[in-house]
């Protein structure tokens, strides 16, 4: 039962309302996705504009210089081997559609994010200014063996990249959106050349050509599944309740380092109908897909709406997927405003979901994407 009392209402600013009201459509498979990209060329844009947009939306995780690893192991976006192998459309698609079920949200308006295609193109142009132009990668026939490739992947790649079920610290190569966008040549280039100076080594001397073929074939075999983001809700809410259980008792939280509260404690507070406010600090696109019941959307890059949060000692829990950086921006902003009881959900929403705690959103009822017919 939704935890949404009617005592107070949180009014979504017009800009958010427009963003949340966007009715997007998920891609039904890699073939449709590639056709869409072909019809949507990246427009020309200003490098200076891209730098400003990058600073607002991207540097929190990918670092001010785009070399990555500022939060949640977000990868470098300016490694020379990445830029020379990634087309502008590939980079733009990553920004537009994100990497569902990871800390990389969709920032394109097609999924409920804040950026239009021209703004995305500006960020791409800024990133491209920091390295080489995209090269034409040699195409090779897919002649590897997926079963053998799975063995090689488990031996040499899984410890960093994780598996299809368990994420690793490095980019999740089984992510449906990544595989829908990546070509075999792109994946091969990354394996052969690595991503210097990051922790991703070159494997051209570590694996045989056949083993590389096998790993690429193994990864591309996962393309039979559709990208995992579902369509947006038909109508996003124009207003949300702010205080959950306004007549309830305050939670009895035990904090780590005076700042972090565990998912177990917050789940218990919800179940016990304690009075609190929950803020989703991610892009609205992620809020639309799934969120803690009753959570309001206040993205880390726009803290002005926090002025509406009552400063009356009500506990305010902010969460993200990082799991601390975006939510930490919200908590810092609240504490600067005098909210002593503003805290970060320690493990983040992805752990909340893995633990089976309640969720709401467009993707909550989806158990598995439909296979793509070829």
pLDDT tens digits, one per residue of 19-61: 333 333 333 333 434 444 444 455 566 799 999 999 999 999 9
Query: What does the alpha-carbon distance between residue 34 and residue 339 come to, in Å, rounded to a whole number?
Result: 47
Query: The dihedral of CA 357, 22, 327, 325: what is its sign?
Result: positive
Query: What does the alpha-carbon distance between residue 69 and residue 71 come to, in Å, rounded to a whole number?
Result: 5
Q: Cite the beta strand spans of the chain per DSSP E.
A: 9-11, 239-241, 260-261, 276-280, 296-297, 315-319, 342-345
Taking a C-beta distance cutoff of 8 angstroms, is the pair 127, 78 a contact?
A: yes
pLDDT-above-90 percentage for the chain: 72
Q: Domains in the chain and their CATH numbers?
A: 27-128 (1.10.760.10), 146-224 (1.10.760.10), 242-354 (3.40.250.10)
pLDDT over 90 at 374, yes or no: no
pLDDT tens digits, one per residue of 265-323: 999 999 999 999 999 999 999 999 999 999 999 999 999 999 999 999 999 999 999 99
Closest CA to 254 of 246, 245, 264: 264
pLDDT tens digits, one per residue of 207-261: 999 999 999 999 999 886 556 665 555 444 557 789 999 999 999 999 999 999 9
pLDDT of residue 5: 33
pLDDT of residue 230: 58
What b/e sequence results for 2-14 when a residue is b if at least 16 CB atoms lie within 10 Å of its CB, and e otherwise? ebebeeebbebee
Query: What does the alpha-carbon distance between residue 256 and residue 220 come to, in Å, rounded to a whole number?
Result: 42
Residue 119's H or E segment, with its range, is helix 117-128
Q: Is 345 exposed, middle or buried (0-12, 13-18, 19+ CB in 10 A)?
A: buried
């Amino acid at each position: 039962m939704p935890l949404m009392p009617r005592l107070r209402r949180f009014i979504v600013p017009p800009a958010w309302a427009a963003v949340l009201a966007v009715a997007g459509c998920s891609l039904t498979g890699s073939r449709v996705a590639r056709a869409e990209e072909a019809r949507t060329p990246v427009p020309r844009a200003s490098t200076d504009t891209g730098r400003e947009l990058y600073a607002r939306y991207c540097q929190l995780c990918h670092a001010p210089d785009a070399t990555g690893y500022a939060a949640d192991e977000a990868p470098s976006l300016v490694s020379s081997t990445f830029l020379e192998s990634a087309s502008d459309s590939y980079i733009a698609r990553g920004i537009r559609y994100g990497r569902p079920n990871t800390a990389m949200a969709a920032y394109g308006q097609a999924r409920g994010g804040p950026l239009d295609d021209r703004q995305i193109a500006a960020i791409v142009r800024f990133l491209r200014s920091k390295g080489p132009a995209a090269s034409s990668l040699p195409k090779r026939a897919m002649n590897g063996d997926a079963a053998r490739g799975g063995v090689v992947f488990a031996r040499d790649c899984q410890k960093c990249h994780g598996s299809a079920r368990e994420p690793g610290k490095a980019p999740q190569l089984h992510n449906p959106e990544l595989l829908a966008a990546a070509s075999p040549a792109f994946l091969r280039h990354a394996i052969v050349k690595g991503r210097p100076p990051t922790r991703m080594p070159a494997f051209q001397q570590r694996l045989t050509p056949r083993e590389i073929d096998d790993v690429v074939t193994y990864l591309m075999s996962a393309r039979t599944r559709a990208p995992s983001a579902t369509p947006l809700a038909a109508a996003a809410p124009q207003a949300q309740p702010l205080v959950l259980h306004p007549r309830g008792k305050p939670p009895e939280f035990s904090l780590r380092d005076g700042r972090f509260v565990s998912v177990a404690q917050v789940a218990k507070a919800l179940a016990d109908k304690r009075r609190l406010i929950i803020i989703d600090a991610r892009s609205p696109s992620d809020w639309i897909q799934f969120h803690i019941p009753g959570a309001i959307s206040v993205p880390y890059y726009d803290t002005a709406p926090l002025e509406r949060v009552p400063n009356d000692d009500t506990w305010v829990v902010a969460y993200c997927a990082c799991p601390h950086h975006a939510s930490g921006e919200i908590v810092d902003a609240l504490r600067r405003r005098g909210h002593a009881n503003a805290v970060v959900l320690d493990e983040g929403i992805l752990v909340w979901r893995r633990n089976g705690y309640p969720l709401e959103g467009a993707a909550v009822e989806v158990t598995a994407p439909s296979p793509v017919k070829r």
